[in-house]
Structure 1
């Protein structure tokens, strides 16, 4: 996995949310959570595994809506941030945070209703084996996102500290087929890439987001989108 040492540093975990989801990044956080809820709802009563849960943005959100959820991540400091969030939200009795490797999930086959991984596949060295492992422990649904090869994301990809793997639609279809998953639905968004929004104030980002959304709803919107959300079924 790319950038493991960087990702597991204490100071990275402490500043992760503020650097990525403040300013214009608030729009990213809101849209990602919307995409997760679109795919998983109704949430209440479902058993969920979130792989690469980071600081628990989605983990806590889903627990607040009634899911019994396990958040797994390789970074101890990230997991501690998640535990703090869960306790502050009063949902720590619905959440378990575990340190573990996405390549060898410590669960039996068909253990969870839903398995999800957000902000994960752009760092995956062996995406086919990772997706197969997500599929193995899910009995119903696998939800994940990817950054798109033929989009504005490619223009600044080289500048990211960890780099990112970009995917074409053909590659996604091949991954799903290899993992014996069937695509139920997909959403495509952000003609302007995430990095752009993180660099500008929220008020300015809102104006750009309106334009971005208008282009995204046009006939060419999906082909220009920099990020895709995939809802696959077992």
Structure 2
């Protein structure tokens, strides 16, 4: 797994959200949370697993909406940040954070209503094995995102500390098929890569975001998106 040691440092965990989701990064945070909520739907009473939950951005959000959720991550430092967030939100008794390996999920088959992973598959060395595990423990739904190969993401990918795995649509379809998953819904966004938005103030980012959204609103131009959200069903 790319960046496994990097994500486990206390310094990275403590600064993770401030560096990525302040300024123009707030637009990314809002969009990702909307994507999750639209995909998972009403969550009250649902059993949900989030793998690679990191600092608990989505874990806590879903717990606040009534989900019975487990957040799993390999980094104890990230999980500690998530626990702090859960306590601050008053939902610490509504969720569970666990340290574990996404390649060997410690749950029986068909254990959760939905299994999700955000900001994960770009780090995966063996995405097929991870997706198969997600499918195994889910009764109904698997949701995840990918960074796209033929997009602006590829332009600066070399400059990232551990790089990223980029996916074509064909690769994602093949992974879904191999894992016994059927594609139920897809969404594509952000012509400009995340790294660009994180480097500019929020007021400036909104202008670029408006242009970005307009481009992707033209039929056929969704192929320019740097990020895709995949909502799949267990077959």
TM-score by length of 2: 0.99
1:78 aligns with 2:78: yes
What is the CA deviation profile of residues 192-225 of structure 1, one whole-angstrom value per residue up to 9, with x for unaligned ones? 0100000000000000000000001112331000
What is the CA deviation profile of residues 53-85 of structure 1, one whole-angstrom value per residue up to 9, with x for unaligned ones? 000000000000000000000000100000000
1:50 aligned residue: 50
1:212 aligned residue: 212
2:38 aligned residue: 38
Question: Distance in 2 between the 1:230 and 1:38 partners?
Answer: 11
Matches within 5 A, 1:66-145: 66-145=66-145
How many residues are treated as equivalent by the alignment? 234
Question: Distance in 1 between the 2:65 and 2:88 partners?
Answer: 15
Question: Distance in 1 between the 2:35 and 2:199 partners?
Answer: 22
2:14 aligned residue: 14
Native 8 Å contact 1:191 1:221 kept in 2: no
1:231 aligned residue: 231
RMSD between superposed Cα atoms in Å:
0.5
What is the CA deviation profile of residues 1-53 of structure 1, one whole-angstrom value per residue up to 9, with x for unaligned ones? 00111110000000000000001000000000000001001111100000000
Task: Give unpaired runs (5+ residues) of structure 1.
Answer: none
What is the CA deviation profile of residues 127-150 of structure 1, one whole-angstrom value per residue up to 9, with x for unaligned ones? 001100000000010000000000
1:161 aligns with 2:191: no
Matches within 5 A, 1:165-204: 165-204=165-204
Following TM superposition, where does structure 1 have runs of at least 4 consecutive aligned residues deviating by more than 4 angstroms? none
Question: Distance in 2 between the 1:27 and 1:220 partners?
Answer: 24
What is the CA deviation profile of residues 98-153 of structure 1, one whole-angstrom value per residue up to 9, with x for unaligned ones? 00000000000000000000000000000001100000000010000000000000
